[in-house]
Amino acid sequence: MYRFSDNYFKKYQEIQGFIRKYQKTTKIVAISKNHPKESVIEALKHGVRIFGENRVQEAKIKFVELFKEYPNLELHFTGTLQTNKVKSALQIFQVFQTIDREKLANEFQKFPNLTKDKKFLIQVNTGKESSKSGVMPNEAKDFIRYCVNELKLNIIGLMCMPPIAESPKLHFALLQKIAIENNINQLSMGMSNDYAEAVMLNATYIRLGTILFGKRK
């Protein structure tokens, strides 16, 4: 079983050093999905404070008690969220990176007391892949306006996952362009295999799993 060992912490430090070298402010989201609570605890002891999960129940099992010990812990939802899980997700996650459809956005509006202090990113399907979630690039403007003006959601940024077989730089640049056109300044882009390109294109968040925790079980 892989754990957040000293070797992975060294990699975490190396990536932070890379970010500082180029005077960037990118934050690392440690993707702990499918990894045991013990790995999360080790990462916390090494100073990691931002984590990403894609299942509500798994996140609750790992993090509910940890919030008491680490009040500055920040938990991001990074998977496809079912509408019937929204209320439950709002009880533990602070940031939702994958608002990808109108039905999901509407569901959040049903819980204003739980939603008011949350942060949201819209997932853009920059590769127009049928296998991935996200709004199409040409529909992003209208969807952003709907979420902000009609639903009053606190949209802070955009997120994307480039196609594996294509250059990530093109997709990161497209996401950046959409963000600028819509007065959005936070971007979640870049994972274990392409985080360097994302950092250089001013990513706000990079989502790192395998490079920090090893392969998932």
Of 57, 93, 100, the C-alpha closest to 76 is: 93
Q: Which long-range contacts (CB under 8 A, 24 or more apart) does 139-144 make?
A: 140/178, 140/182, 141/178, 141/181, 141/182, 143/102, 143/105, 144/182, 144/184
Tell me whether residue 161 is in a domain: yes
- HSE (CB half, 13 Å, CA atoms) of 58? 17
User: How many angstroms separate the CA atoms of 35 and 183, rounded?
Assistant: 36
Tell me whether residue 1 is in a domain: no
CATH number reported for the structural domain that contains residue 65 in this entry: 3.20.20.10
- Please state the domain count of the chain: 1
CA 152 vs CA 24, 38, 39: distances in Å: 30, 38, 36
Place of tokens 């294509």: 166
- Segment 4-16 shows an average pLDDT of 85
Looking at the DSSP assignment, which residues form a beta bridge with residue 120? 96, 155
Q: What is the pLDDT of residues 46-79, one digit of tens each?
A: 999 999 999 999 999 999 999 999 999 999 999 9
- Per-residue model confidence (pLDDT) at position 215: 78
- Per-residue model confidence (pLDDT) at position 7: 76
- Per-residue model confidence (pLDDT) at position 5: 66
pLDDT band at 217 (very low <50, low <70, confident <90, very high): low
Q: Is the pTM of this model over 0.85?
A: yes
Q: What is the pLDDT of residues 84-142, one digit of tens each?
A: 999 999 999 999 999 999 999 999 999 999 999 999 999 999 999 999 999 999 999 99
Domain that holds residue 185: 6-213
Tell me whether residue 78 is in a domain: yes
User: How many angstroms separate the CA atoms of 80 and 104, rounded?
Assistant: 10
- Per-residue model confidence (pLDDT) at position 4: 64
User: How many angstroms separate the CA atoms of 9 and 38, rounded?
Assistant: 15
Tell me whether residue 137 is in a domain: yes
- Segment 158-165 shows an average pLDDT of 95
User: How many angstroms separate the CA atoms of 34 and 62, rounded?
Assistant: 11
Tell me whether residue 72 is in a domain: yes
Q: What is the pLDDT of residues 188-201, one digit of tens each?
A: 999 999 999 999 99
pLDDT band at 214 (very low <50, low <70, confident <90, very high): confident
